Amino acid sequence: MTDHINSRNFSRRTALALPALGFSALSLPGHARAQGDGPPRRGGTLTYAVAAEPPTYDLHATSTFAVMHRVAPHYSTLLRYEAHNYPNVVGDVAESWTAADDRLSYTFKLHSNIRFHDGTPLTSEDVKASYDRLRAPPEGVVSNRLPSFQQIAAIETPDPLTVVFRMKAVDASIMDTFSSPWNSIFSAARLRADPNFPARNVMGSGPFRFVEHVAGSHWAGERFDGYFRDGHPYLDGFRAITMSPSAMVNALSGRQIMAEFRGFTPNERDRIVRALGEDSLVQESSWMLHMILTFNTKQKPFDDARVRRALSLAIDRWGGSQNLSRISQLGQVGGLVRPGSSWSATPEEMQKWPGYGRDMVANRAEAKRLLREAGHENLTFTLLDRNHQPYVTAGIFLIDQWRQIGVRVEHQQAELSAWYAAQGSGNFSALVDSFTQFSDDPTNVLVKYISSDRAEINVSGSTDRELDRLFDQQASTVDPVARKALVRQFETRLFDESYAVPILWWQRIVVMNRRVRGWTMAPTHMIYQDLGDVWLSA
């Protein structure tokens, strides 16, 4: 994962060959220590770029990195993923915890020295108020991941430093829920005064105190001296600057910023490396982010499983993976869970799914047969896409694949707001979509594909009670082997129906100035963003 690419004599051939190496040699999660951090150094202000403006300050209410990458340094969570050791979980405000043998209750002991930025102590009441807001939001409050909390029956606070979560049923993903970077701890007193306080204000117990947000310009934070972890944070402050992706490349190359934490394309990586030379640090990983082809199952002819399956069959995912990864962030072939994770299918298992077989001649012949059988040999439709990379790359690729089975497709590229509006209103035929999560846990990922009346994020409009049953069953199955088998069943069922199917998974390429130390690379851009461990070398 951690490596530096020498910029000298960087040829086109090298550029094309590197991504292929990247998967094997560079994409090793947890390898970031190889950069030779040494003893952390105190001081300095980290400047980094964020590509979009935050629609809210409330982590409970959103899923966008535009909020996470600015707001995370100001808050704490109950648990968190251990730095440089994903997906191991350690305590954040929790000093220790125990789970009942039947997994129907979890007891957390909190650190006694935690204070909010206004000086008030953080107690079990604050944890309870935050989780109550997440699982049963008051009117006017948005809880964006409500299904994650459905198994929590009650939250008790026997004393100021103890929190007990009582469960309705076993939830195999509950530890990920407690570690979620989105489930920040807010002040109970502030929430009592205004349940929507976090939407417009920032007041947490994280390593940095909020200074200012100038829309369209920057977000600034300063070191919180009362932070409960001794010696942390190392930085005096941070400044997140709003800029477009193309500007980021120039800003990083010109040393106006030190980092960007989401990811660059292979070509952008090469340009920055050429500019920064030995001062560049490249970290690569697979990414919990996949591109999805979603059909509007309420619209003809996509209400017919044969048409959907034919269009999925026509996609040469293996060829696309090998070649599109040279020019875009699109990377590995995978099912519904991140390829390479402990839950993913093997390539051999994948090849049994429609659209994942390597014999494209046979796949396309079968696709044509299905279309003929469905009476749609000369199918034409419009593919709704976003208007930036790598969505456009995916759209061009899909249209070429479908051209080869005689299907003609109009490529409609929309601005983000129009794209969301079309999703919400169901005003599309087929859609290039994407989905990201903060953990590999199957519940976090499969929720995208259960019936749309249970999960709003399923925009295909499909209803499939068999998928719902399999989802619920895996969510309460603790045995990883049995759970993995259920995930395979879920995937097989989904690919047969093809309401929405993965196209390719993304590859994460983070390039930063080598001065930035202590930051942890992960297969998700949503964690390790509190900057508490980050420091700047001389």
Partner 1 sequence: MSASTRDGPVMAWRRRNPVLGFIMAQPLGAAGLVVILVMAAAAIFANVVAPYDPEAIDFLAMLSPPSMEHPLGADAFGRDILTRIIYGARTALTIGFLSSFLGCTIGGLLGVTSAYFGGRVDLILQRFVDIVLSFPIIVLALVVVAVVGHRPIMGIDLNLIAAISIPIMPRAARVIRSAALAVRAMPYVDAARAGGYTHSHIILRHMAPNVLAPYLILLTAYIAQAILLEASLSFLGLGVSEPKPAWGLMLSGDSSNFYQEAPWMILFPGLAISLAVFAFNLFGDSLRDWLDPKFRT
Instruction: With residue 189 as reference, give the H or E element that holds it.
Output: helix 188-193
Eight-state DSSP code of residue 533: T
Write down the least CB distance from residue 51 to partner 1, Å. 16
Nearer to partner 1 (CB atom), residue 269 or residue 376: 269
Give yes or no for residue 395 binding partner 1 (CB under 8 A).
Answer: yes
Please pick, from the candidates 109, 411, 469, 515, the single residue that binds partner 1 as defined by CB under 8 A: 411
Give yes or no for residue 7 binding partner 1 (CB under 8 A).
Answer: no
Please pick, from the candidates 327, 374, 422, 457, the single residue that binds partner 1 as defined by CB under 8 A: 327
Q: Rounded to an integer, what distance in angstroms lies between the CA atom of residue 373 and that of residue 376?
A: 8
Instruction: With residue 97 as reference, give the H or E element that holds it.
Output: strand 94-99
Binding mask 346-385 toward partner 1 (x if CB under 8 A, else -) reads ----------------------------------------
Nearer to partner 1 (CB atom), residue 323 or residue 537: 323
Q: Are 447 and 147 in contact (CB under 8 A)?
A: yes
Q: Rounded to an integer, what distance in angstroms lies between the CA atom of residue 237 and that of residue 209?
A: 9
Q: Which residues, listed in sequence order, are joined to residue 156 by a DSSP beta bridge? A: 164
Q: Rounded to an integer, what distance in angstroms lies between the CA atom of residue 120 and that of residue 190?
A: 11
Nearer to partner 1 (CB atom), residue 389 or residue 492: 389
Nearer to partner 1 (CB atom), residue 268 or residue 284: 268
Nearer to partner 1 (CB atom), residue 410 or residue 456: 410
Please pick, from the candidates 201, 413, 473, 476, the single residue that binds partner 1 as defined by CB under 8 A: 413
Task: Choose the stretch contacting partner 1; rule: CB under 8 A; options: 34-42, 153-161, 212-220, 321-329.
Answer: 321-329
Binding mask 243-272 toward partner 1 (x if CB under 8 A, else -) reads ---x------------------x-xx--x-
- Half-sphere exposure of residue 169: CA atoms within 13 angstroms, side-chain side: 10
Q: Rounded to an integer, what distance in angstroms lies between the CA atom of residue 390 and that of residue 267?
A: 12
Write down the least CB distance from residue 323 to partner 1, Å. 4
Return the structure tokens found at 202. 């920032």
Q: Are 326 and 266 in contact (CB under 8 A)?
A: yes
3-state secondary structure of 490: helix
Write down the least CB distance from residue 467 to partner 1, Å. 33
Give yes or no for residue 51 binding partner 1 (CB under 8 A).
Answer: no
Please pick, from the candidates 197, 238, 302, 397, the single residue that binds partner 1 as defined by CB under 8 A: 397
Task: Choose the stretch contacting partner 1; rule: CB under 8 A; options: 66-74, 371-379, 397-405, 446-454.
Answer: 397-405
Chain residues 192-251 in contact with partner 1, contact rule CB under 8 A? 246
Please pick, from the candidates 410, 453, 466, 479, the single residue that binds partner 1 as defined by CB under 8 A: 410
Q: Find the Cα–Cα–Cα–Cα dihedral 331, 333, 336, 342, rounded to 10°.
A: -90
Return the structure tokens found at 470. 């399999």
Please pick, from the candidates 396, 416, 478, 485, the single residue that binds partner 1 as defined by CB under 8 A: 396
Task: Choose the stretch contacting partner 1; rule: CB under 8 A; options: 68-76, 99-107, 316-324, 461-469.
Answer: 316-324
Q: Rounded to an integer, what distance in angstroms lies between the CA atom of residue 107 and that of residue 306?
A: 50
**Torsion-angle region of 231 (φ positive above 0: left; ψ -120 to 50: alpha; else: beta):** left
Nearer to partner 1 (CB atom), residue 103 or residue 318: 318
Which candidate, 262, 292, 255, 250, places its Cα nearest to that of 432?
Answer: 292
Nearer to partner 1 (CB atom), residue 154 or residue 421: 421
Which candidate, 511, 127, 86, 96, places its Cα nearest to that of 341?
Answer: 86
Q: Rounded to an integer, what distance in angstroms lies between the CA atom of residue 249 and that of residue 191?
A: 40
Peptide bond into 54 cis (omega under 30): no
Binding mask 8-37 toward partner 1 (x if CB under 8 A, else -) reads ----x--xx---------------------
Write down the least CB distance from residue 322 to partner 1, Å. 8
Quote the distance between the C-alpha of residue 255 and its chain's center.
Answer: 27
Render the burial of 15-52: b for 16+ CB within 10 Å, e for the rest: beebbeebbeebbbbbbbeebebeebbeebebbbbbbb
Scanning the structure block, which residue is given the tokens 């206004």?
118
Write down the least CB distance from residue 409 to partner 1, Å. 9
* Separation in Å, CA 69 to CA 52, 54, 212, 512, 527: 10, 9, 15, 15, 9
Write down the least CB distance from residue 316 to partner 1, Å. 9
Write down the least CB distance from residue 355 to partner 1, Å. 17
Nearer to partner 1 (CB atom), residue 45 or residue 389: 389
Write down the least CB distance from residue 11 to partner 1, Å. 8
Give yes or no for residue 387 binding partner 1 (CB under 8 A).
Answer: yes
Please pick, from the candidates 45, 412, 436, 463, the single residue that binds partner 1 as defined by CB under 8 A: 412
Q: What are phi and psi of 420, to 5 degrees?
A: -65, -40
Please pick, from the candidates 105, 162, 256, 322, the single residue that binds partner 1 as defined by CB under 8 A: 322
Give yes or no for residue 318 binding partner 1 (CB under 8 A).
Answer: no
3-state secondary structure of 36: coil
Return the structure tokens found at 387. 């208007």
Nearer to partner 1 (CB atom), residue 85 or residue 380: 380
Task: List residues binding partner 1 (CB under 8 A).
Answer: 12, 15-16, 246, 265, 267-268, 271, 319, 322-323, 326-327, 387, 389, 392-393, 395-397, 399-400, 403, 410-413
